[in-house]
Copies of this chain bind each other. A is one copy, B any other.
Amino acid sequence: MQLTLDGDVVRADSRARERFYDSRGYGRVRDGDLDLAPVEAAHLCYRGDIDAVDGMDTRELLASGAVSAVDFLVYKDLRDRGFYLTPAREGWVDEPGGVDFVVYPRGQGPWDDAVAYRVRVVGERDDVPAAALGDCALAVVDEESELTYLDTNTRTVEGTSAADVPGVRGELLAERVLCWDPPAPLYRRAFYGQRLDEDAVQLSLVEAAYLAREGVLSVDGGEPSDAKRPSSARSADGGADAIAERGRDVEGDRFDRRLRVYAALRDAGVVPKTGFKFGADFRTYADVESVDDLGHSELLVRVLPADHAFEPRDLALDVRLAHGVRKTMVFALVDDGIEWVQVERLTP
C-alpha cells in the first residue's frame, strides 16, 4: 500500500480509505481517497497495518520529528482505550481551535455527530494559558511519558447562604481586624471571621474590606451602621479604603483580585473561607445557615489574573489535592469580569 507524505498530510488511496477510515475511523475522506495526519499514519505503522510512510517506519517518523512524540503518545493511549479520534485540523472537524484531537464516544466515529472529548495535548513543560481552559480536556504528557488527563469546564458558582449582620466595630491591626464583643450573627450565622474566644472575632483583611464596603463594619473612626443594611446599599465609608489599602500593602494587586472574587462569592450566596490549609485562596460553603451545622466545603478556589499561564505541574498539584480532600478545584480568572473554570481529573 502506497502512502506518501505531502506537506503535513499523508495521501492514501480508496483501498486505504475502506480499511482505515470506513472501518476504523482513521483520517479524512477526500474525493473517495484518504488523507491521514502523520500521527495517524505513524499509529498505523506502529500497529503493523502499514509498513512505512515514504520509507519511514514509526521509529523514523518520531526520530525525524515528522510526528511529535507527545501527540503520538496521546493518540496511541486514546486508541488503546478504545476511542476513535480525529486530529483537530481546519476542515477536518468542527471548531478545531485550541485542541489537538476530537475524540468520539466509544463505538462512534467521525461519521457520527457526537463528541466525547476535545483534547489539547500538553507537554509537562509547556505553559497552558488560562484562556485555553474550559470546554476541553488536557492530556498532559509528563517527562517520563506518563499521561494525566484533566477535564476543564467553565461553570457558575451559587448557593443559598444569606444572613443579615448588624453593624459592628473593629480595630485594624497589621493584617487582620479584631472585633471585641461583636453581634453574634457575625460569626455564628454569617460565618465571618474566626473566634479568638467567646468575646472576640478576628476578621481577615478581605472579609473586613467586604463588610466595610457593605456598610456593616466600621473601623478606625469610620461610622458603624447601627441597622441591618441590604447588601446593595454600599457605603464608601467605615474604613473600607483604609482596609483595602492595608491589603494592597501586604499583597499588592492580588488583594483587589481576591476581594473581587470574595465579593462575587458572597453575592452569589456562597461563603468563602480561607483555603490556606489546602494551598488555595478560598474554600467555599454553598449553604450556610449556622456554623454549628456547617457540613463539608465544596470548592477550592484559586484566584488568578485572566492572563495567567499555568505550569501543568501546578495544575496537577491543585487538582490532585482537591480530589484528595473531596472538593472541586475552581480557578477564578479575573479580568473585567470573573470566569470560573473547574478542573478535575479525568479517566477517559
- Residues of A at the B interface (CB closer than 8 Å) are 59, 62-63, 65, 68-70, 73, 123-125, 140, 142-146, 148, 171, 173-176, 178, 180, 193-194, 196, 202, 204-207, 250-251, 273-274, 276-280, 312-314, 316-318, 320-321, 324-325
Contact = CB atoms under 8 A, between A and B. Distances in A.
Given A63-B173, A69-B175, A123-B175, A316 B277 contact: yes
A270 to B, nearest CB: 16
Contacts of A62: 171, 173, 178
Give the copy number: 2
Most chain B CB inside 10 Å of its own CB: which residue of A176, A207, A316? A176
A144 B193 contact: yes
Contacts of A273: 144
30 contacts: A62-B178, A65-B173, A68-B174, A69-B173, A69-B178, A70-B174, A73-B196, A123-B175, A125-B175, A142-B274, A143-B175, A143-B176, A143-B206, A143-B276, A144-B204, A144-B207, A144-B273, A144-B276, A145-B176, A145-B193, A145-B196, A148-B277, A276-B313, A276-B316, A277-B316, A277-B320, A278-B317, A279-B317, A317-B321, A321-B324
A276 B147 CA distance: 10
Contacts of A251: 125
A89 to B, nearest CB: 21
Nearest to A279: B317
B143 A204 contact: yes
A194 B248 CA distance: 47
Contacts of A204: 143-145
Nearest to A250: B125
Contacts of A320: 277-279, 321
Nearest to A59: B180
Contact of A276 (B63, B142, B173, B250): B142
A61 to B, nearest CB: 11
A171 B65 CA distance: 12
A16 to B, nearest CB: 24
A279 B205 CA distance: 30
Pairs A-B, 3 closest by C-beta atoms: A279-B317, A142-B276, A324-B324
A142 to B, nearest CB: 4
